[in-house]
Structure 1
Amino acid sequence: MDGIPLSDYPRPQLVRNSYISLNGVWKCCITRHALEPGQNRHKVVSTIYEGDITVPYPPESKLSGVNHILMPDEAITYNRKFEIHKNFLNDITLLHFDAVDYICEIYLNGKIISSHEGGYLPLCIDVSDFIVEGVNKLDVIVTDPTDTACQPRGKQKLDHKGIFYTPISGIWQSVWLESVPKGYVKNIQIDTNIDEHTVTLKADTESNEFFASIINIDEVICQGMSDKGKKIIFKIEDMHLWSPEDPFLYSIEIKAGTDTVKSYFGMRKFSIVKDESGYSRLALNNDIYFHNGVLDQGYYHDGIYTPKSDEEMVKDIKLVKRLGFNMIRKHIKIEPLRWYYHCDRLGLLVWQDMVNGGGKYKFGTVAALPFAGIRLDDKNYRLFSREDEYYRKKFEEELPVCIKHLYNCVSICQWTLFNEGWGQFDSVRLTKLLRSFDLTRHIDSTSGWHEQDNDLSDFYSRHIYFTKIKFKKKTDKVIALTEFGGYAIMTEGHMYSKDKKFGYKIFKDKESLQNAYDKLYRKYIIGNIKRGLSACVYTQLSDVEEEINGFATYDREVFKFDMQRIKAVNNIINKMNMDARVKWKR
């Protein structure tokens, strides 16, 4: 699909031979609205922009061609025409919006087909009764309160500065069509059990049964027909395990009636074990495995939330791998499914954050009191800016949808429920709820601080930037330094702002920056591994706007550190990781 941005098949975890991308140039109009006196409706006050927009880049970005921040009293209306040929149409035609932020109404050929609220999860609409052979017209109207409401929004902020960034709105992931037969496969769930040498496949389909084959490279090694519960259990005797060092993926093909879909999986297991000193350790495939990671915000200088191309995502992942890290923490954002696919196939563990919401955060709650070692009860909704019951329910309703959406991503090994108290509430109850959706992955309930009494988190999770890294508390939980570092340096010609800059510690030259980094790891990370540290997450992969504490600049054009020295430190950690596995097995 030459010339169409981000036109690679958008759902690698469930591939079907029916696909039309609707990405590309659309028409759009941005208008300002006001509530009519005495009326429960809005009227257009002025037109701010009218012209082309390149989808799926958000209107705030350079790549969109618009470069306008959508305000809460504004609406953006998209429209485009597309042609459908008779040979594309099957029994059911589905229209996909992989992410639209935040409230949208969608019209096809003048008829409303969906109203949706959400910013990070996909929307799939059956348009069989509305789509026609020939020319069709699609209209999408979007509004976004950003941080004037309490919806999940991540680090988006209208008054953006420091660690909060330019907001995005509207369509920011792919828009596409597929047409399917009756009884098609709507969704699948794949569970692997390396202890039993089994793979369990479940399919959501209205067909009475389905057939599936597991393929090792080009060889079919298992086949089976579903039982009455729409499930197949396969036995794989000679397993090839998945790991960051050897990210081997099996292929799987599923047939339900006349529908055929393809997917993949990795044989892997995430667990927690005790070492010889009694510390709880993360384990991969029943071996102790230190998670040595990098924080990644998922921001791009020209597309904000949306990368220019598939290659931009791959470039970031390969950089993390090349530096010798084995994990990436996806911070307060849900990525397109292709990003997780690349982590699966290239071999990089993923810690996935839930997207935070809530009202305006109180400085005392999210910063001052935690630094003083004071924990607050997250049932106090006022202190955590969570008074709004509607948005608390909205967050809770989206939890199972998010887990289902990402469940088959091989590389995801951990869910982070709340970060630094931002919009935190009822974390003990919600951890229990989250675990009921997924028993295969770890949970960090309260990353950074504000852990609760009798909490159910797998981690003793700490963010340490301004003090010496040490862990006084004796705990049965996994000890994890879930944020640290943030060392910064200015890079002339590659900064978002010449005047405003943020970093947890700013250095004048590359040598002093690298020396401080080496000391930080050699003294405080390597030294604490023997004292129970099982994971660490360095801040961060790249600069983001005013934050200049990345390994790379915001435009990814300059790597600011000494790559060989970073690799040398990580080689020491990897050697300790291997030695710990050997010692533990004895």
Structure 2
Amino acid sequence: MTCRPEYPRPQFVRDAWMSLNGTWEFRMDDKNAGLAEKWYENGEFDRTIEVPFCYQSPLSGIGETEFHDVVWYRRTVRLPREAAGKRAILHFGAVDYDAEVWVDGRLVCSHEGGNASFSADVTDALEEGTDEHTIVVRAQDYFEDLALPRGKQYWKEKGEVMWFRNMTGIWQTVWLEFAAPVHLSRVRFTPHLDTNEIEIETRIEGLAKEARAELAVEISFAGKTIARERIEAGALETRRVNLKDFNDHGFGRWWSPEKPNLYDVEFVLSADGTVTDRVTSYFGMRKISIENGKVCLNNKPYPMKLVLDQGYYHDGILTAPSDEAIRLDVELCKQMGFNGMRKHQMVADPRYLYWCDKLGVLVWGEAANAYAYSEDYAYRMTKEWGEIIRRDYNHPCIVAWVPLNESWGVPDMLIDPKQRNHAMALYHFTKSVDSTRLVLSNDGWEHCLSDLCTVHDYTRDRGTLLERYADLERILNDMPGRKFVYAPGYRYNGEPIMVTEFGGANLRRHEESPVVRPCAEDEEQFLKQVVDVIHPMVVSGLVQGYCYTQLTDTETEICGLLTWDRKPKIPLDVIRRINEGELVEHL
């Protein structure tokens, strides 16, 4: 049975595709000899691996934690009948960290960045006269490079404290799709809630110079056609479509966690009177903004009640074992009374964002950060961050971008203007390519310019939290720890205040989980600790949202509301009642 067989890109769907997940040949290259010996042509591969799981994970079939900086993959594929006469496009959801790809012995692409997707049109590399073709991938990681954007992956072989084991190589779906020479390559949706319009930008590949094609766009809701457009299209077109059925007097079709309304879209591309491509997609009409000092969703004040999600699975590390497992996390979030998740120190799988779109969960999109700063890091980070935003732009669930967290990658923000400039550059770059979402320069402390004032506070005393979050001056000037809320040269300007990390109560429920202190003795004590930290946030007149740490346990942490195998430590409805402001005293 193929691992993770579901369609990997729900925002842009074609019928002609094939998953390349499953068993690949595999080899470790500790001497880094593969390039010189041309393993991409005739190398001997001595192991197998289950893609898309990294070799460090049990689900890969290997499960070794020793460092191997360079690994190779090989698989022979037979193209299906529907590939005839079409372009073959090879996609990688993510490969950590550097990747080189050969098809039939020819280099087709290389990519740097462990969290961004990439693809290549490999048609011209396919050897003629055969339906079977060989794909070879070389992946190189840099385990001890602390300036590498890596998130929670540790630089030692065994995880500890808050880090878990490293990942190397392919860790998201690999797949082929087949498209006509003239085809749609990208779609970008921008909702304009106040004018009832959806802005659609399309890019077409394969058009001859000065040539035009016709693009038919049909938008529907719940099976009913809402709008049709026929566009004489060039390579790049932008068009606004009015959704005339729209109002918001309780009957509207805006997207929110309470009503995750989605519009379906079909694109049909024709060239010289012949249909060459058909793609389906979807979008949600929603607006996130700050009005009169309030965080608003669809022009109404909206308290965000988030839970921190590190996307960790005991058997897959950051690769979910199944699509059902991804959906379960989203459902559990909602059942606990949270309306959103902060995807922490990793980039979400598109299937995760799809389920958040469909079921109604807000998402804060975050990068996997480095620990040390260097000019090489700055180049790496900026490039990969742009690729991440471009890929995930269309998901209505994403309402905020967080390129930096707690000064990771910029540890000397307080004294180094270069690092402050990097944080500001990421903020302005993000704003320059996406004006529709909230953006933070550095979540948690040492803000430069950010759309929100976010603080991290792991104080556990209810009385202290009640007093602190009823007083603006105490929030800004009396925070625990060694960090200032604002970096030198920047100050609070009335931004909405959110507590985006807090809680962290520990309860150990698995013998193989680490021993962490302090730790609750039982469920009743754990319940009290959860109430003590969430209740002050709910009743504060100043806090407009919060993010509880965290959804699940990980390899090295036991502060989840759920165990790493998604078993609740206290009943889900009890957590929901706490999020609603109830002082729950007993289970």
Paired letter, 2:51: V
CA deviation string 1:205-244 (max 9, x = no partner): 1452422010112121101123666122111122211110
CA deviation string 1:370-393 (max 9, x = no partner): xxxxxxxxxxxxxxx31x212211
> Residue 225 of structure 1 contacts residue 232 of structure 1 at CA under 8 Å; is this kept in 2?
no
Secondary structure, in 3 states, of the residue corresponding to 2:8? coil
Query: Does 2:254 correspond to 1:241?
Result: yes
Q: 1:180 to 1:482 in 2, by over 3 A?
A: same
* Structure 1 partner of 2:547: 537
> Residue 70 of structure 1 contacts residue 169 of structure 1 at CA under 8 Å; is this kept in 2?
no
How far is 1:41 from its partner? 7.1
CA distance, structure 2, for counterparts of residue 24 and residue 198 of structure 1: 42
* Structure 1 partner of 2:459: 466
Query: Does 2:225 correspond to 1:216?
Result: no
* Structure 1 partner of 2:365: 352
Q: 1:35 to 1:141 in 2, by over 3 A?
A: closer
Number of aligned positions between the proteins: 521
> Residue 251 of structure 1 contacts residue 262 of structure 1 at CA under 8 Å; is this kept in 2?
yes
Superposition pairs of residues 30-41 of structure 1, within 5 angstroms: 30-33=28-31
CA deviation string 1:503-542 (max 9, x = no partner): 6x421111011022112222x21231x1x21110000000
Query: Does 2:568 correspond to 1:559?
Result: yes
> Residue 31 of structure 1 contacts residue 48 of structure 1 at CA under 8 Å; is this kept in 2?
no
Superposition pairs of residues 72-151 of structure 1, within 5 angstroms: 74-132=69-127, 133-151=130-148
* Structure 2 partner of 1:378: none
> Residue 117 of structure 2 contacts residue 387 of structure 2 at CA under 8 Å; is this kept in 1?
no
Superposition pairs of residues 3-22 of structure 1, within 5 angstroms: 3-22=1-20
CA distance, structure 1, for counterparts of residue 86 and residue 45 of structure 2: 39
How far is 1:60 from its partner? 0.3
* Structure 2 partner of 1:525: 537
Superposition pairs of residues 332-411 of structure 1, within 5 angstroms: 332-358=345-371, 385-386=372-373, 388-411=374-397
CA distance, structure 1, for counterparts of residue 522 and residue 139 of structure 2: 45
Q: 1:147 to 1:482 in 2, by over 3 A?
A: farther
Secondary structure, in 3 states, of the residue corresponding to 2:563? coil
How far is 1:42 from its partner? 9.8
Q: 1:237 to 1:332 in 2, by over 3 A?
A: same
> Residue 442 of structure 1 contacts residue 458 of structure 1 at CA under 8 Å; is this kept in 2?
yes
> Residue 54 of structure 1 contacts residue 64 of structure 1 at CA under 8 Å; is this kept in 2?
yes
Secondary structure, in 3 states, of the residue corresponding to 1:507? coil
Superposition pairs of residues 137-536 of structure 1, within 5 angstroms: 137-159=134-156, 160-206=159-205, 207=207, 208=212, 209-226=214-231, 230-239=237-246, 240-257=253-270, 258-274=276-292, 280-358=293-371, 385-386=372-373, 388-424=374-410, 425=419, 426-452=422-448, 455=449, 457-466=450-459, 468-469=464-465, 470=468, 471-472=472-473, 473=476, 475-493=493-511, 495-496=512-513, 500-502=514-516, 505-522=518-535, 524-528=536-540, 530=541, 532-536=542-546
Secondary structure, in 3 states, of the residue corresponding to 1:292? strand
> Residue 214 of structure 1 contacts residue 253 of structure 1 at CA under 8 Å; is this kept in 2?
yes
CA distance, structure 1, for counterparts of residue 11 and residue 228 of structure 2: 19
CA deviation string 1:447-480 (max 9, x = no partner): 111123xx2x011110001364324237510101
State the TM-score, normalized to the length of structure 1.
0.85
CA deviation string 1:230-275 (max 9, x = no partner): 122111122211110010101001122211101001111101122x
State the TM-score, normalized to the length of structure 2.
0.85
> Residue 71 of structure 1 contacts residue 144 of structure 1 at CA under 8 Å; is this kept in 2?
no
How far is 1:49 from its partner? 9.2
> Residue 419 of structure 1 contacts residue 446 of structure 1 at CA under 8 Å; is this kept in 2?
yes
> Residue 254 of structure 1 contacts residue 261 of structure 1 at CA under 8 Å; is this kept in 2?
yes
> Residue 447 of structure 1 contacts residue 462 of structure 1 at CA under 8 Å; is this kept in 2?
yes
Query: Does 2:559 correspond to 1:549?
Result: yes
CA distance, structure 1, for counterparts of residue 425 and residue 316 of structure 2: 37
CA distance, structure 2, for counterparts of residue 541 and residue 180 of structure 1: 40
Q: 1:224 to 1:485 in 2, by over 3 A?
A: same
CA distance, structure 2, for counterparts of residue 342 and residue 310 of structure 1: 9
Paired letter, 2:256: S
Secondary structure, in 3 states, of the residue corresponding to 1:397? helix
How far is 1:149 from its partner? 4.6
Secondary structure, in 3 states, of the residue corresponding to 2:560? coil
* Structure 1 partner of 2:487: none
* Structure 1 partner of 2:585: none
**Identical-residue share of aligned pairs (%):** 32
CA deviation string 1:263-301 (max 9, x = no partner): 001111101122xxxxx2210000100000100001100
How far is 1:501 from its partner? 2.9
CA deviation string 1:402-445 (max 9, x = no partner): 11111001100000121111003321232112101100000121
How far is 1:325 from its partner? 0.6
CA distance, structure 1, for counterparts of residue 394 and residue 510 of structure 2: 42
Which runs of 5 or more structure 2 residues have no equivalent in the other structure? 247-252, 271-275, 411-418, 477-491, 583-587
Query: Does 2:19 correspond to 1:24?
Result: no
> Residue 199 of structure 2 contacts residue 240 of structure 2 at CA under 8 Å; is this kept in 1?
yes
> Residue 314 of structure 2 contacts residue 564 of structure 2 at CA under 8 Å; is this kept in 1?
yes
Q: 1:5 to 1:34 in 2, by over 3 A?
A: closer
Q: 1:316 to 1:147 in 2, by over 3 A?
A: farther
Q: 1:42 to 1:501 in 2, by over 3 A?
A: farther
CA distance, structure 2, for counterparts of residue 397 and residue 170 of structure 1: 19
CA distance, structure 2, for counterparts of residue 542 and residue 285 of structure 1: 30
CA distance, structure 1, for counterparts of residue 408 and residue 254 of structure 2: 37
* Structure 2 partner of 1:380: none
Paired letter, 1:393: Y
Mean CA deviation greater in 284-293 or 91-100: 91-100
Paired letter, 2:244: E
How far is 1:97 from its partner? 1.0
CA deviation string 1:172-226 (max 9, x = no partner): 0011001111221111100111110101111011452422010112121101123
Paired letter, 1:88: A
Q: 1:87 to 1:516 in 2, by over 3 A?
A: closer
CA distance, structure 2, for counterparts of residue 336 and residue 437 of structure 1: 21
